[in-house]
Amino acid sequence: MSEASFDVIVIGSGSVGTPAAYFLAKAGLTTAVFDAAASPGRGDNRAAIGGVRATHSDRSKIAVCQESLTIFKTWQETTGDDLLWRQGGYTFVACDDNIESLLKALLVKQRKFGLDIDWVDAARVKELVPGIESNGLRGGVFSPGDGSASPLMSAHSFKVQAERAGAEFHFGEAVKDIKVEDGRATGIVTEGGSYAAKTVILATGADASETGAMAGLDLPVVPDSHEAGVTEAIGQFMDPMVVDLRPEEGSRNFYFYQNSEGQLVFCITPEPPIIGKDRRSTSVFLPQIAKRMVALLPRLRNLKVRRIWRGLYPMTPDGFPIVGHSPDVEGLFLAVGMCGQGFMLGPGLGALIARELSGRATETDQMVLTDLRPDREFAGMEALK
């Protein structure tokens, strides 16, 4: 029996692979997605707290996330599916000189790239985040167009809509090998069989390094773990995602927002980073973040936490994703190293990848593909990674 053949095989039905399948199928490319897990978004997509912002420090992530925002905002109208999208904005608060200077410097760049973001004074931050500790508060930046959505509902909807557009999904089918003949990727091998494709897309998140090695690549993607949690639901009192960039012993920054169901969802960046694939919750996280959240917003002190979890950021040396045609293996397209922003990058990247593979890439797409190319120097550093 001859093996099934596709225009595109996507390895990984996560934050990136699932929306990519939707846009690829919409572009008329025969598309098959393979994932080791039993359903979409079961990798680190499900660990994401759902923040979606275009407020980054460089033009490529800004451009991709601006498109993601448009996709999230219009998804219900386009498809009828509710992703629990909520446009509450983002506010990065400044409580010391360093953070104020950093945010104001970034603001110049961000506005140059067309972002709807501005400096707001302490009084405005207090309106946005009622009850925030005012001692030392300088103000902050506020970007009203940013927001949040449910990662699990998004993964489910992207998968259903991708299937409607003609893509097929193979769950519980781990990819064991990427077939490379004469320097060209020709397909994949799974436990269930062998499949051919003109292009293979690697969208394997924290497993990028191991799966890249199947094609002989040495990808600089190293997982580090982050924990998050969710509280009981309370009456809606604040709209934006609040980000506090001040470092403290044991952590770099932390962020939280109130979701459309009234729960507060929160996350912290450990310092030093905790490298590895351990996804077991620790006893350190909750006391650490509770102390920081209550110090910033004392009214949270009696709120009950319902659940915590731990997942992985697939990190690159410079904090930017690796996106583009592999320079070493023809026919292999890399969409890995999403760091802490794969959920917000996913839809925009999916749309870009579909344009690139169907010969419709725009000038902006080419700029993104140049900035995020796999063979860059990795010399820079994302300021808001």
Which chain residues interact with ligand FAD by CB under 6 A?
Answer: 11-17, 34-37, 42-45, 47-51, 174-175, 203-207, 211, 226-228, 267, 311-314, 338, 340-344
Nearer to ligand FAD among residue 203 and residue 354 (C-beta): 203
Q: Rounded distance, CA 258 to CA 237, Å?
A: 8
Q: Rounded distance, CA 1 to CA 29, Å?
A: 23
Which residue is closest to ligand FAD by CB?
Answer: 14
For residue 140, the minimal CB distance to ligand FAD (Å) is 18
Nearer to ligand FAD among residue 13 and residue 31 (C-beta): 13
Using only C-alpha atoms, what is the Rg of the chain?
A: 21
Q: Rounded distance, CA 348 to CA 352, Å?
A: 6
The amino acid that residue 293 corresponds to is M
Q: Which residue has the tokens 């930046």?
A: 141
For residue 136, the minimal CB distance to ligand FAD (Å) is 26
Contact between residue 41 and residue 157 where contact means Cβ atoms under 8 Å apart: no
For residue 309, the minimal CB distance to ligand FAD (Å) is 7
For residue 382, the minimal CB distance to ligand FAD (Å) is 13
Please spell the DSSP secondary structure of 57-90, one letter per residue. Answer: SSHHHHHHHHHHHHHHHHHHHHHS-----B---E
The amino acid that residue 41 corresponds to is G
Nearer to ligand FAD among residue 10 and residue 137 (C-beta): 10
Nearer to ligand FAD among residue 139 and residue 258 (C-beta): 258
> In Å, how far are 9, 11, 296, 319, 356 from 313, measured between CA atoms?
24, 18, 25, 10, 26
Nearer to ligand FAD among residue 85 and residue 137 (C-beta): 85
For residue 347, the minimal CB distance to ligand FAD (Å) is 10
> In Å, how far are 156, 235, 238, 283 from 260, measured between CA atoms?
18, 10, 11, 28
Nearer to ligand FAD among residue 22 and residue 343 (C-beta): 343
Q: In a 10 Å sphere around its CB, with 0-12 CB exposed, 13-18 middle and 19+ buried, how is residue 255 labelled?
A: buried
Closest by CA to 121, choosing from 138, 107, 103, 96, is 138
For residue 6, the minimal CB distance to ligand FAD (Å) is 15
For residue 115, the minimal CB distance to ligand FAD (Å) is 17
Nearer to ligand FAD among residue 142 and residue 255 (C-beta): 255
For residue 46, the minimal CB distance to ligand FAD (Å) is 8
Nearer to ligand FAD among residue 12 and residue 145 (C-beta): 12
